[in-house]
Amino acid sequence: MVPMFFWAFIVGGLICVIGQLMMDVLKMTPAHTLSTLVVSGAVLEAFGLYEPLIDFAGAGATVPITSFGNALLHGAMQEAEKHGVIGVMTGMFEVTSSGISAAIIFGFIGALIFKPKA
Amino acid sequence: MADHWITQSKAAADAHELKRPVLKNCIKAFLVGGIICTIGQLVTLLLMLYFPFTEQTAGNPTVAIMVFFSMLLTGFGLYHKLGQFAGAGSAVPVTGFGNAVVSAAIEHRSEGLVLGVGGNIFKLAGSVIVFGVISAFIIALIKTVLFQLGVI
């Protein structure tokens, strides 16, 4: 269990450093950086590299936004194996639904209970 | 809340650009990002111990719970402060995605629930969803076609 925490810290931290370098060295805006990272996650999973990273680093790989791209592709491929090309559409949000739903639900609740800070 | 950093234009980013302490920023991003992922690992562990999740399936509820934490921190104005310190360290984890959604929702609350909250909730985080879906769609399509042709 302890090594898993260690690797979650290291891998998660390194992914954030990559993001920081994209912002500082390549002069990308945060929105461009996050979009690129999401696409990178999907591309890594296309070559079957992201799932092994999750097995290795746990939350170090599932918590950074790269896992969103991975999970989208994962859901799409899962359904595509069963239903062919149509499955790419129907399976897209199968795995990521919890993240998107949570964001909408908590975003809405947040808007109801919190006041904007100046 | 004025959390416009995520949409800040390139010109604004350049104006910021006197001399970026790249190494210092990277160390901060590493530490904060690492700590957020370690907290995520703790959540994953608790989910596996007390709920019927396996290592493979615990990732999704972990993301949802991290977004919940992010809502609280954003609501109390703490995530914005963390972001100023950590840069990508707080933006890259899903809590940053949560922060983008929640802060947009809170900020536009005054314009009403439908036009304000509903219309703007994905204002900042939308590009992440759009490009994630488009890239996953293209890759999945290529893989499926190649698979059906028997190439892979």
- DSSP symbols for B59-125: HHHHHHHHHHHHHHHHHTTHHHHHHHHHTHHHHSBHHHHHHHHHHHHHHTGGG-IIIIIIHHTTTTT
Number of structural domains in chain A? 1
Residue A85: which domain range?
A: 2-113
Q: What is the pLDDT of residues A43-68, one digit of tens each?
A: 999 999 999 999 899 899 999 999 99
Burial of A64 (0-12, 13-18, 19+ CB in 10 A): buried
Is residue A118 included in any domain, yes or no?
no
pLDDT value of position B14: 59
Q: Enumerate the H helices of A58-92 as residue ranges.
A: 59-62, 66-83, 85-91
Among partner residues B65, B106, B139, which is closest to A111 by beta-carbon distance? B106
Which of the 8 DSSP states describes residue A116? P
Residues of chain B numbered 109-128 and touching chain A (CB < 8 Å): 109-110, 113, 116-117, 121, 124-125, 127-128
Give the number of C-alpha atoms closer than 13 A to the C-alpha of residue A94, restricted to the C-beta side. Answer: 16
Is residue A15 included in any domain, yes or no?
yes
- Asked if B59 lies within 8 A of A54 by C-beta distance, the reply is yes
Give, for all 152 residues of chain B, the pLDDT tens digit: 444 555 566 666 555 555 678 899 999 999 999 999 999 999 999 999 999 988 778 888 999 999 999 999 999 989 999 999 999 999 999 999 999 999 999 999 999 899 999 999 999 899 999 999 999 999 999 999 998 888 77
Place of tokens 């977004």: B67
Cα radius of gyration (chain B): 19
Task: Provide the token pair at A47.
Answer: 């070559």
Q: Which residues of B touch A59 (CB under 8 A)?
A: 37-41, 43-44, 59, 62
Place of tokens 């194996």: A81
- Asked if B136 lies within 8 A of A24 by C-beta distance, the reply is no
B57 touching A (Cβ < 8 Å): no
Q: Which residues of B touch A83 (CB under 8 A)?
A: none
- In angstroms, the CA A70 to CA A38 distance is 8
- Min mean pLDDT across A1-5, A38-42, B60-64 is at A1-5
Q: pTM for the whole thing?
A: 0.88
CB count in 10 Å sphere of residue B11: 8
Is residue A106 included in any domain, yes or no?
yes
Alpha-carbon distance A1 to nearest alpha carbon in chain B (angstroms) = 9
Q: What are residue A23's phi and psi, to 5 degrees?
A: -75, -45
Residue A90 has pLDDT above 80, yes or no: yes
pLDDT value of position B55: 78
Task: Provide the token pair at B142.
Answer: 């290529």
Nearest residue in chain A measured CA to CA from B76:
A114
Burial of B3 (0-12, 13-18, 19+ CB in 10 A): buried
- In angstroms, the CA A35 to CA A10 distance is 22
Task: Provide the token pair at B87.
Answer: 């840069």
What burial letters (b/e) apply to B100-126, b meaning 16+ CB within 10 Å?
bbbbbbbbbbeeeeeebbbebbbbbbb
Is residue A14 included in any domain, yes or no?
yes
Is residue A24 included in any domain, yes or no?
yes
Residue extents of the structural domains in chain B: 21-121, 127-152
pLDDT value of position A85: 87
Residue of A17, A82, A94 best to disrupt the B interface, most CBs of B under 10 A: A17
Is residue A66 included in any domain, yes or no?
yes
Q: Enumerate the H helices of A1-118 as residue ranges.
A: 2-24, 30-46, 50-57, 59-62, 66-83, 85-91, 97-113
What are B126's strand-pairing partners?
none
